[in-house]
Structure 1
Amino acid sequence: MKSNVGSIDRLLRIIVGLIIAIIGVIFDSWWGLIGIVPLATGLFKVCPLYFPLNISTTGKDK
């Protein structure tokens, strides 16, 4: 798949994903699993929602 998540977007997704997951562990809540979504999209550099909306934060066309 073509990368559509830029470096700043990627960093923010990883940080937010980790924070949500950690808060879920601290409060012993299943809601922490939601943190997997931004974490995975940041690590894999692909956001499935960006494809139908034709959005790319990479800054240049690869």
Structure 2
Amino acid sequence: MKANVGGFDKWARIVVGVLLIGWALADGPVWAWVGVVPLVTGLFNFCPLYGLLGVNTCKR
């Protein structure tokens, strides 16, 4: 897995993921657990969808 998520994109994913998971834990809707996806992709710097689309937000 080559990193393809970086910079602002990485931090935005982490923040959105944490907020959605927090909402789910606070009796929010079940779909808020989707926050796990942006959190994990932000932490691992890799997004499979970006790989398929050829997108890379990492500075080279």
Q: TM-score, normalised by structure 2?
A: 0.89
Counterpart for residue 24 of structure 2: 24
Q: Percent identity?
A: 42
TM-superposition CA deviations, 1:23-62 (whole Å, max 9, x none):
11112543232110000000000000001110000132xx
TM-superposition CA deviations, 1:1-32 (whole Å, max 9, x none):
10000121110000000000001111254323
**RMSD value over aligned CA atoms?**
1.1
Counterpart for residue 57 of structure 1: 57
- Matches of 1:29 and 1:2 in 2, distance apart? 33
Q: TM-score, normalised by structure 1?
A: 0.87
Q: Aligned residues, how many? A: 60
Gaps of 5+ in 2: none
The amino acid of 2:34's aligned partner reads I
Gaps of 5+ in 1: none
- Matches of 1:59 and 1:44 in 2, distance apart? 16
- Matches of 1:7 and 1:23 in 2, distance apart? 25
